[in-house]
Chains A and B, each alone.
Chain A
Amino acid sequence: MSAPLAGLSVRRRLLRNFSLLFVGTIVVLSLFYLWASWNNRDAEADDELEEIASIVVAKAERGPDGRVRLHYGPKRQELLADVKGLQVFVYDPVNKEVLIEQPVGMRKGLPLSPEIAWKFAFLVVDRDSEPERPRLQLLLATLDSPAGPLQVAVGRDEPHDTLQPRWVAYTVMREVLPVIGPILLLAIGIALYTLTKALAPVAKAAEEANRITVDTMGKRLDTAVPAEIRPLVAAFNRALDRLDAGFAEQRRFTANAAHELRTPLALLRARLDGMGDADAAESFRPDLQRMTRLIEQLLAVSRLDSHMPMAKGDVDLVDIAGDVVARMAPLAVAEDKQVSLTAPDHPVRLYGNADALSAAVRNLVENALRFTPAGSTVEVVVADGPHLAVHDAGPGIPAEDRPHLFERFWRGRNRQGGAGLGLAIVAEVIALHGGRIAVDKSPMGGALFDVTFGAPPAAAE
C-alpha cells in the first residue's frame, strides 16, 4: 500500500477491498449475464409471446349456442395492456368466427387468413407502412383451449433493440444478486471476524504498553500474539531491555557518584571543624557549603533524571516543614534573620517521599533566606489542602522572570550564589507528588512560593 494509506485501519482496508470486489463481481457477472440474455433475446421474446397466447385462450369456453367466449378478466387485460405494442388475433375455426382482433384491422398487411390451418410459427414482420416503429414479432399457432383448438396470432413490437435500464436492473436484481450477494457477504463477515480475533492481542499489547512507566521496569509485553505481529512485540520488548539497562546504568552511576563526591566533602568538613585556627576555618566554610549544596543539587537532578524509585508513604507536611525550619533556623540566626512556621495543630497528611519533600521545602526556605534582608523573617505556612507557602521580605520576583524561574540553571539578574538548580528540583519533586508550584508577591513584601498538592489519596497504590 502506498504511503497515504499506511495509517488506514486494516479492517477498513479489508472492507474497502472487499466492497470493490463485491461491486466488481456483480458488474462482471451482470455484464456476462446481460450479454448472454442479449444473444438469447429472440428465444426469450418467443417464450413471452407463447405465454401471452396461452393466457389469452386459457379460459376460452364454448357456450350452448356453439360460440366461443374467451373470458379474460380485467386483470389479464391489464397484464396484456402492459406489453408494448401488443396485437392479438384469435379465430375459431369451427364457427369460422374472429373472436378478438386488437387492434381492429391488424390482419391487413399481415400474412393472416382464417382459412389457413395455422401451424406454430414465429415470424418477424417489417412494417413497411410505419417505418418509425420497430419490427413486429409475431406468433402464429393453433392452440388447444378448453373450447377446442383456436387459432391465435399474437404480435408485439420487437423488443430489445436497445438495452432498457429497467430490464437491466431487473436482470441484475433477479438473476445475479441472489447468487453472488450471500457468498460475498459471508466472505466479508468471515474476513472481518478473523481479523478482529487476530487483532485482539494487538489491542491488549497496546494496553500493556500503555501501563509501562519508569516505575514498572522489567515489565514486558505478552508475546502471545499472531505470528505477523510477534516480531514487532519482540522488538519492542528488546527496546525496553535496552532502556532498562540504560536507566539501571544511570542509577548505578548516580549512587556511586553520590558516595564518591560526598566522602571527600565529609573529610574536608571534618578537617575544617577540627581546625585550631577558627578564623581560617570560617573563611573556607562558605565555599565548602556552596560546594556541598551544588553537589547535592546535581545529585538530586541526576536522581530525578534517572527516575530513581521513591519509597512513598503517608507523610505529615507539618512534620516535614517543622523539621526543615528547625534545621534552617541556626543558619538564619547566624545571619540575623528568622524562620517561622505557621501550621495547624493536626497533621497535614500527604502521600509521598519524606526526604524528597523535605529537600524541596528546604530549597524553598534556603532560597527565601538568601533574599530576605537581615532582621526580617521567612514565613513557612502549612495548611490543609495539602498546601505549603514560603514568604520572604526580599525584593520579590519580577513578573518577567517568573516563567523561567523553574528552569534548570536559570539565574535571574542580581542573583548571587546558587547554580540555578534549586527551584528546578523543587518543581520536579512537587510535580512527582502531583502538586503545583506558583510564584506571587507576598503580603510580606517579597516573594511568595505557593505549593498546592492534590487531595491526599485515601489509600494510594
Chain B
Amino acid sequence: MDILFKLFPETILTVSIIFNTLIISISKNVKELKNAFLLVFIFSIFFAIASLFFQLYFVANENEIIDLSLILNNIMIYSISSFEIVSKMMLSIVSIIIAFIVSVYFYVNKLEYEHRYFKLEYLPLFLTVLLGSFVLVSAEDLLTFLIGFELVAIPSYFVIALDNKNKVSLEGSIKYFLIGSISTISIILGILIFYIFNGSFLYSTNLNNLNLISLKVGFLFILIGIILKLAVFPFSFWIQDAYYASKTPYLLLISTLPKYSVVLALIKMLSYIQDGYFKILLSVLAVLSIVMGVFWALAENDIKKIIAYSTVFNMGFILIPFTGFSFHLEQKIYVLSLINFYVFQYILSTILILGVLLYLEEKYDTTDMLKLKGVLANNKVLSFFLIVGLLSVAGLPPTIGFIAKFFVLAFSYKFNPILVIIAIVFSVASLYYYYRITKELYVEKEFNLTTNLSSLDFSFKNSFLYYVSLFSVSILLIILGLLPYFITGTFYFITYTNIKF
C-alpha cells in the first residue's frame, strides 16, 4: 500500500496546522482572513473524514484481513485496522460538530475581532489535539503512544490559558500542566521498566505477559498516568478546577477529544492484558468513581463542575464492561465496540449541554445555576436542547444515553452483578443533580440577572446556524436512542470485519 494512502488523514491535518499557524503569524489584519482560516479548518477535517471513509471501505470490503499498519523494525507499529479507522472517524465527527458549534457562534455571529476571551489560536490547537488523538488511537507501541499522549496534552494546557486576562484561567492552566506532567512522568517510568526487562516498546511483547512483579508495577505506572488523565476516582481531584477555569469553548475541546482518545488507547492496551488482578483493580476503581462522582456533584451549584463530576461518574461506567473482558473473539470485540460507543454518546451529550452553556456564559458571564435562575423559562428551543442533553447524560430514554447505559449494564451483569447493582443505584441518585439544573434554569420563574455583559444581541435570525447545529445534535441523540442496534451494530460489525489483534 502506498504510504500516502495510509497516512492521508494525518498528513492533511499536519499541513493544515502549519497553514493555519502561518496565517496567524504573517497576517496583521486577521479580520479579513478569518473566513479563509475557518474554511481551511473545516475542509481539512472533512478531507480527513473522507479519506478515512475511503480506507474503511477498502478494509471492510475485502475477504482476507488487510493490514494497513506501518511497521518499523519491530520498534514501532502504527496500526490502521478497522477499529482504528472507525474510532478516528468518530473522533473527526465529534471534532467537526464542536468546531461547527464554536465557529458559528464566535466567527459567523460575532462581528468584532477582539472578543473578550475567545482567541483565533483556538483552531490550530484544536487541530493539533485531533492529530494527537489520531496518533494515540493508532499507536501499537509505547513510544508512539507517548507521542500521541503529549500531542493531545500540551495543546490542552495552552487552550485553557487562551483567556489570558483571567487569573482563574491561568491558574487552572498551570494546575492542569502540573497534573499532566505528573502523568507523563509516570508513563515514562512505566515505559522504562518495560524497556529494561523486555528490550522492546511493542504492546504485543510487553503487555501479553506480565509475569514478573516489576512488569506489573510498570504497567501500574502506565495505568496511573492514563487514569490521571481520565480523572478516574483517586486521581480525579484536579478535574473540577481545570473545568471551572476554562471558558466553555475551551471546555468543549478539553472535555471531549482528549478523554475519547485516551479511553481508546486504554482499551487497546487492556485488550492485551491477560492478568486477572487488573480486572479487579479496574472494577474497584469503577465503583469508587461512580460513588464519589455522585457524592461530589450532589452539593455543587456550578454547571461546569457538575459536568466535571459527571465525567468522573461516566469514566467509572466505562470501566464496568472490562469485568466481562475475555479472549473469546466476539466478546472481546463487543467490549471494545461497547466502550467506544459509550464514550461517543457521552461526548455527544456533553457537547449538547456545553453548546447551551456557551450561550449562557457568553451572555451572563457565569455558570452558577443559582445565578442563572429561570433564564431559559421563555426560551423553548434552548431549554429543549438542554433537557435532551441532560436526559442523555443521565441515561434516560428516549435518548442514546439510556441505550448505552442499558447495554453496558445488561452485558456486565452476568460477570459482576454487584458492580451493576451499585451502578444502577447511583444512576438514580445522579438524576437529582441533573434535574436540579433543569429546575433552576427552566422551571423557576424569577430571573433578575440584569447585567447583560454582551453588547451583541442574540436574536434567532443571526444565530440561525448555531440553533441548527445544536438541533441536529439533539435530534441525533433521540433518533439513535430510538434505533438502539443501529449504532452499536455499526461499531461492532465494522470492527469485526477486520480485527487484527
**Bind each other:** no
Residues of B within 8 A of A (CB): none
Spell out A's residues near B (CB within 8 Å): none
